[in-house]
Amino acid sequence: MHSILTQLRGTTVAVLATLAFATLFLLVAARELVTDANTITVILAALFFFALLMFAAAYGRASAQPAKWLIFVVWWGLLVSEEVFSYRSDIAGGAGFASQAYDQAVLWIVALLGVLIIVLKYPQSLRGLFQGDYKWVSWITLISILSCSYAPNPAFSFAWAFKLALVVVVVHLCYQQLAGMDDLRDFLNVTVCGFLILVLVPTFRSLFETDPLGEYGSGPLEQRFREAPTEISAIAGLLAILCLMLYSPGKRRWPLWVAAVSLIIMVAAGGKTGIMAGIFSGVFFYALQKRFKAVLVFAAVAAVMLALALKFTPLADYMANYSQLEVGSSFTGRTDLWTFVLPFILQKPILGYGFTASRFIAVVHPDTPFASTHMHNSLIEAMYNNGLIGLGLILMVQFVIVRNLFRTIRMAPPQIRYLAVGCLAAFVNLFITGMFNATFGGRADASYMMLIALVVVSGRLQAWSKPAPSPAFG
Residue that finishes a domain, picked among 328, 354, 375? 328
pLDDT tier for residue 442 given thresholds of 50, 70 and 90: confident
DSSP assignment of 173-191 = HHHHT--SHHHHHHHHHHH
Q: What angle do CA 97, 102, 108 make, to 5 degrees?
A: 140
pLDDT tier for residue 226 given thresholds of 50, 70 and 90: very low
User: Based on the domain organization, do 303 and 343 belong to the same domain?
Assistant: no
Q: How many independent structural domains does the chain possess?
A: 3
Residue 221 has pLDDT above 60, yes or no: no
Residue 129 has pLDDT above 70, yes or no: yes
- Within a domain: residue 358? yes
Residue 183 has pLDDT above 60, yes or no: yes
Residue 24 has pLDDT above 70, yes or no: no
- Within a domain: residue 159? yes
User: Based on the domain organization, do 172 and 103 belong to the same domain?
Assistant: no
More confident residue, 5 or 249: 249
Asked if 384 contacts 372 with a C-beta cutoff of 8 angstroms, the reply is no
- Within a domain: residue 417? yes
User: Based on the domain organization, do 360 and 402 belong to the same domain?
Assistant: yes
Domain that holds residue 312: 205-328
390-to-139, 214, 350, 386 alpha-carbon distances in Å: 9, 38, 9, 5
- Within a domain: residue 189? no
| pLDDT, position 19 | 56
Least confident window among 218-227, 323-332, 366-375: 218-227
Q: How many residues does the chain have?
A: 474
Residue 393 has pLDDT above 90, yes or no: yes
- Within a domain: residue 93? no
- Within a domain: residue 191? no
DSSP tag of 9: -
- Within a domain: residue 55? yes
Asked if 154 contacts 427 with a C-beta cutoff of 8 angstroms, the reply is no
Percent of the chain with pLDDT over 90: 39
Report the distance separating Cα 79 and Cα 198, nearest Å.
8
Q: What angle do CA 357, 371, 347 make, to 5 degrees?
A: 45
Write down the mean pLDDT value for the chain. 80
pLDDT tier for residue 8 given thresholds of 50, 70 and 90: very low
355-to-152, 153, 447 alpha-carbon distances in Å: 9, 9, 17
User: Based on the domain organization, do 169 and 227 belong to the same domain?
Assistant: no
DSSP tag of 252: B
Burial class (CB in 10 A: 0-12, 13-18, 19+), 194: buried
Give all strands (DSSP E) within 84-180, no chain letters: none
Residue 294 has pLDDT above 60, yes or no: yes
Average pLDDT over residues 381-392: 94
Residue that finishes a domain, picked among 328, 352, 380? 328
Phi–psi pair at 252, nearest 5 degrees: -125, 100
pLDDT tier for residue 331 given thresholds of 50, 70 and 90: low
More confident residue, 52 or 431: 431
User: Based on the domain organization, do 244 and 152 belong to the same domain?
Assistant: no
More confident residue, 175 or 310: 175
Report the distance separating Cα 264 and Cα 309, nearest Å.
9
Residue 95 has pLDDT above 70, yes or no: no
Residue 44 has pLDDT above 80, yes or no: no
**Residue of 122, 114, 6, 121 whose CA lies nearest to 62:** 6
| pLDDT, position 273 | 86
User: Based on the domain organization, do 138 and 260 belong to the same domain?
Assistant: no
Asked if 259 contacts 243 with a C-beta cutoff of 8 angstroms, the reply is yes
DSSP tag of 470: P
Cα-atom radius of gyration of the chain, to the nearest Å?
A: 23
Least confident window among 73-77, 79-83, 408-412: 79-83
User: Based on the domain organization, do 221 and 248 belong to the same domain?
Assistant: yes
What letter represents residue 274's amino acid? G
User: Based on the domain organization, do 316 and 347 belong to the same domain?
Assistant: no
User: Based on the domain organization, do 55 and 142 belong to the same domain?
Assistant: no
**Residue of 267, 233, 137 whose CA lies nearest to 433:** 233
